[in-house]
Amino acid sequence: MSARVSRRRFLGASAAAAGGLVVGFHVPFASAAGAKGDAMPEINAWVLVRPDDTVVIRIARSEMGQGTLTGLAQLVAEELDCDWAKVTTEYPTPGQNLARSRVWGNFSTGGSRGIRDSHEYVRKGGATARTMLVQAAADGWRVPASECAAAASVITHAASGRRTTYGKVAAAAARVSPPTEVALKDPKDWKIAGKRLARLDTADKVTGAQIYGMDLRMPGMLNAAIKACPVFGGKLASFDDAAVAKRKGVKRVVRVGDNAVAVVADTWWRAKTALDALPVEWDYGANAKASSAAFANVLKAGLDASDAVVGNRVGDARAAIASAPRRIEAVYSYPHQNHATMEVMNATARWTAERCEVWTPTQNGEAALAAVSEAAQLPLAQCDVYKTLLGGGFGRRGASDWIRQAVLIARQMPGTPVKLIWSREEDMTQGRYHPVTQCKLVAGIDDKGNVTALHMRISGQSILAGVAPANIKDGKDPVVFQGLNPPGPESSFVYGIPNLLIDHAMRNPHVPPGFWRGVNLNQNTIYLECFVDEVAHATGQDPLALRRTLLAKSPKSLAVLNAVAARIGWDTPAPAGVYRGLAQTMGFGSYVAACAEVSVSPQGDLRIRRIVAATDCGYAVNPQQIEAQVEGSFAYGLSAALYGECTVKDGRIEQRNFDGYRVLRMDEMPAVETIVMPSGGFWGGVGEPTIAVAAPAVLNAIFAATGLRIRELPLKNHSLAKA
């Protein structure tokens, strides 16, 4: 494989390095790499090498547990041919990215894109740096670079027996002109990428030394607790700061934008308790009486409304259904959910008339920088954002609402660093929620039980309408159709059905939506995969056999389905009292399938015993981390299936903490067997796709066990007891 490199990109990087831009991240804690600017030549934007051969690899994407930091470092190190044992990492800041013409590309971390969208340019970064290091050694020895070889940070010249290390030639390499073209390795030759390597960021997480945004401390720092109007769209009317002004530690009570109030104190606990005691009046506005129950009726009406936008059309589904000898119909629904990251939203901001800096866990450093600039009323170049390790993201931290709040507070206290921490209650009730939708599915069946037509009508909330309305063209939010799109590389409908219509009637409640790990693939896969199961049972077909028929022209999907069927032993009976369910989907560029084994007691107690999941993500950069992601995706997806639901009453979210918003715990976690089966030739995502098959595999297994077809999530609202 050969690939052209943008010469300007790497020249720009080197030129900027000469200006010393890499140094001085101003991050006031020891774990931040990169503070030692002395004697650490930057070979290019991605690679720095210290004289002791330590290699620092720059990571643009945010690490939130998904392992992207390690995976991206593996890709750079693979092409760099460096000693993996001496690799460390650091984040460039979005401000630096801006100053260097976005040399590190996109910082946004979501959509399972971390590796699949940047593998090529980070590998080129590594390959370019290797070429420059070898050239520097060759120049020093006055031999052609083509006679030199590099491995594990050691450069050798076989003919003369000479040998040096990356660290020794790094300073010279930084002055070498970058090559205009570099060849990338064939993945079959990988020695670092593709291996089951341990993560780079584990050690401090087991000793308490790891610093998260919430843990930051700075000289003179104050702490803020905040309360926003509990009804979305409502405003702050007034507050009585005199009532708390004399409490110990309280420094200020400040208005934050038009809908929130914050108490700033010496400690967060004092700020929080003062806020609890603060008399506040709200103007709840037009949504004061909104409820989930009322909105469910709006969604229901959308199932038969005439204002739908088409996302996928093959043949004439309406006509084919009308003329079919048999019709099968079902309606499903999926609720709002909170991301519930373990680390609540937080940001530390320091504002002066000249500069605004923010330290925060964010999935989107560049959007965060833009939010800081706007809230600070300062140009981008006078602002920066320092990313901290995220205590969970799941899409919530792609937004910047809490960052804006932190800056608005800090702006009222010039020069003082202020750390804003949300309470869990604030986090639960001020989320950016998984969109709520319903879906009506109608299938036309011929006399032989073949599915001749399918109409899926989705009625419900659009994420883009809430977060990026400019991206809605002709009334269409393309994200709504994840997993249901026409054939393509991203999130496609993979079944062969001759007449297909998938359309969406957009119905937006006042609850702000967000990208929630798995996004719309989650409920779309429940709708489709449970309905396919319904069709199989209604037509007397085996659920695996029907899927195999429908996937005849989708070999990658068929392969993952067959892999889970083989591993679970679909063709042999399950143990007594154990029942199986299947699901498959294509999302975020990958092909996945799962089989669940469950048992249900006569009293209705569900036990999810075992999950077998297969993933074809094209290339597997770190198989043991893919296994960890797949396993984790089932914890997330099964939390959603069993318990996940945020309901609205009087315009506000009712669930305020983990007692009202239950999530899966250890005693409910099934054994997960992950089959990683990369078939090559494409790059698919890993963090999200398998979430989508968790719920439908289990729901289909529950049907097999009980004959109960659950069509309204979550499961907690249903009894599985024998009638």
Partner 1 sequence: MPTLTVNGKVRSFDAEPDTPLLWVLREQLGLTGTKYGCGVAQCGACTVLIDGAPMRSCVRPVSTVTPTQNVVTIEGLSARGTHPLQKAWVALDVPQCGFCQSGMIMAASVLLAAKPEPTDADIDAAMTNICRCGTYNRVRAAIKAAAQGGDARRAGLAIQHSDGSTT
Task: Please report, as ranges, the residues that interact with partner 1 according to CB under 8 A.
Answer: 64-67, 84-85, 195-199, 201-212, 214-215, 217, 223, 248, 267-270, 340-344, 389-394, 421, 423-425, 624-625, 627-628, 631-636, 639, 657-659, 663-667, 669, 671-672
Q: Which is nearer to partner 1, 447 or 659 (CB)?
A: 659
CA 357-19-173 angle, to 5 degrees, is 125
Residue 274 CB, nearest approach to partner 1 (Å): 11
Q: Which is nearer to partner 1, 13 or 630 (CB)?
A: 630
Beta-bridged to residue 492, according to DSSP, are 485
- 307, two tokens: 């204002």
Residue 297 CB, nearest approach to partner 1 (Å): 32
Cα torsion 215, 219, 222, 223 to 10°: value is 0
Q: Which is nearer to partner 1, 42 or 78 (CB)?
A: 78
Q: Which is nearer to partner 1, 32 or 669 (CB)?
A: 669
The owner of tokens 């077909």 is 541
695, 522 contact by CB (below 8 A): yes
Q: How far is CA 286 from the centre of its chain?
A: 33
Residue 363 CB, nearest approach to partner 1 (Å): 12
Residue 211 CB, nearest approach to partner 1 (Å): 7
- 424, two tokens: 């869990």
Q: Which is nearer to partner 1, 638 or 713 (CB)?
A: 638
Residue 109 CB, nearest approach to partner 1 (Å): 13
Tell me which amino acid residue 411 is: R
**Phi/psi at 213 (5° precision):** -55, -40
Residue 195 CB, nearest approach to partner 1 (Å): 6
Q: Could you give the CA distance from residue 381 to residue 21 in angstroms, rounded to a whole number?
A: 14
Residue 475 neighbours by CB under 8 Å, 6+ apart = 309, 506
Residues comprising the chain, all counted: 723
- HSE-CB at 541 with a 13 A cutoff on CA atoms is 19
720, 649 contact by CB (below 8 A): no
- 314, two tokens: 């093959």
Residue 663 CB, nearest approach to partner 1 (Å): 6
Q: Could you give the CA distance from residue 126 to residue 119 in angstroms, rounded to a whole number?
A: 11
Q: What is the DSSP letter of 103?
A: T
Strand order across the beta sheet in which 47-49 lies: 42-44, 47-49, 55-58, 87-90
478, 201 contact by CB (below 8 A): no
Largest CA distance in the chain: 86
Q: Which is nearer to partner 1, 145 or 635 (CB)?
A: 635
Q: Which is nearer to partner 1, 70 or 438 (CB)?
A: 70
Residue 666 CB, nearest approach to partner 1 (Å): 5
The owner of tokens 């993979």 is 494
Helices (H), 503-600: 519-538, 543-550, 555-568
Residue 618 CB, nearest approach to partner 1 (Å): 22
Q: Which is nearer to partner 1, 394 or 531 (CB)?
A: 394
- 104, two tokens: 């590190």
Radius of gyration over every alpha carbon of the chain, rounded to an integer in angstroms? 27
Residue 560 CB, nearest approach to partner 1 (Å): 20
Q: Which is nearer to partner 1, 200 or 614 (CB)?
A: 200
Tell me which amino acid residue 665 is: R
Residue 629 CB, nearest approach to partner 1 (Å): 8
Q: Based on the number of CB atoms within 10 Å of its own CB, is 296 exposed (0-12), middle (13-18) or buried (19 or more)?
A: middle
Tell me which amino acid residue 355 is: R
453, 441 contact by CB (below 8 A): no
Q: Which is nearer to partner 1, 284 or 394 (CB)?
A: 394
Q: Which is nearer to partner 1, 262 or 528 (CB)?
A: 262
Residue 603 CB, nearest approach to partner 1 (Å): 19
531, 443 contact by CB (below 8 A): yes
Residue 416 neighbours by CB under 8 Å, 6+ apart = 220, 221, 222, 350, 410
Tell me which amino acid residue 691 is: I
Q: Which is nearer to partner 1, 444 or 678 (CB)?
A: 678
Q: Based on the number of CB atoms within 10 Å of its own CB, is 206 exposed (0-12), middle (13-18) or buried (19 or more)?
A: exposed
Beta-bridged to residue 506, according to DSSP, are 460
257, 405 contact by CB (below 8 A): yes
Residue 29 CB, nearest approach to partner 1 (Å): 10
Q: Which is nearer to partner 1, 248 or 355 (CB)?
A: 248
Residue 22 CB, nearest approach to partner 1 (Å): 24
Residue 134 CB, nearest approach to partner 1 (Å): 24
Residue 478 CB, nearest approach to partner 1 (Å): 28
Q: Which is nearer to partner 1, 393 or 696 (CB)?
A: 393
Q: What is the DSSP letter of 496?
A: -
Residue 614 CB, nearest approach to partner 1 (Å): 17
Q: Which is nearer to partner 1, 65 or 311 (CB)?
A: 65
Q: Which is nearer to partner 1, 297 or 601 (CB)?
A: 601
Residue 492 CB, nearest approach to partner 1 (Å): 26
Tell me which amino acid residue 290 is: A
Q: Are strands 451-460 and 437-445 parallel, antiparallel or unpaired?
A: antiparallel
Q: Which is nearer to partner 1, 661 or 683 (CB)?
A: 661
The owner of tokens 């702000």 is 512
Helix orientation angle between 623-642 and 691-706, rounded to the nearest 10 degrees:
50
Q: Which is nearer to partner 1, 46 or 394 (CB)?
A: 394
Q: Could you give the CA distance from residue 582 to residue 536 in angstroms, rounded to a whole number?
A: 12
| Cα separation values, 159 from 146, 149, 153, 596, Å | 12, 11, 19, 60
**DSSP characters for 662-712?**
----GGGPPEEEEEE---SSS----SSTTHHHHHHHHHHHHHHHHS----B
